[in-house]
Amino acid sequence: MAKLTLYHAAPSRSSITRWMLEEVGEPYDIHLLNLSKGDTHAPDYLAVNPMGKVPALKHGDAVITEAAAICAYLADEFPRAKLNVPIGTPRRGSRRALISWASSSPPPTWSSAPRCASA
Ligand SMILES: N[C@@H](CCC(=O)N[C@@H](CS)C(=O)NCC(=O)O)C(=O)O
């Protein structure tokens, strides 16, 4: 199986994708970045995600960015985890809405997270 690597900073939106990876249950590595030190703007990370943001997920040669897209990708890619709702099922829309909401609505406790709350 292709290797999974999550580019992660805590606290940040990448925690959402870390949670999703735990639910998927496949082995993965974490590449930890420090937002306060500007790690996401270092050239080696910009080569992974030119937007300079976490999360990013590497799966083999593929790089997926955006928390909601990563969650949807993982649900599609690892059907054994049963985290997806099949196409043609009405509640598929509300599942997608929940993923989008969780990915775009950081809780108030994140307001002190550098370069995160206003992103
Ligand atoms: N729309 C993106 C937003 C990603 C984002 O803003 N990430 C913040 C942390 S929560 C970040 O990496 N900030 C670093 C910076 O702007 O320097 C997503 O949902 O993944």
Domain borders along the chain are: 4-110
Supply the pLDDT for residue 67: 94
| CA dist., res. 111 & res. 9, Å (int) | 15
What is the best residue among 20, 115, 118 to mutate for testing ligand 1's pocket, by most ligand atoms within 8 Å of CB?
A: 115
pLDDT averaged over 10-residue windows placed end to end, the chain, 119 residues: 94 91 97 97 98 97 96 94 91 87 66 51
Residue type, 11: P
Supply the pLDDT for residue 110: 54
What is the best residue among 6, 7, 13 to mutate for testing ligand 1's pocket, by most ligand atoms within 8 Å of CB?
A: 13
What CATH number has the domain spanning 4-110?
Answer: 3.40.30.10
Of the CA atoms within 13 Å of residue 6, those in its CB half-sphere come to 25
* Atom 11 of ligand 1, nearest CA residue: 53
Supply the pLDDT for residue 107: 56
Supply the pLDDT for residue 118: 44
Supply the pLDDT for residue 82: 92
Place of tokens 């995600």: 49
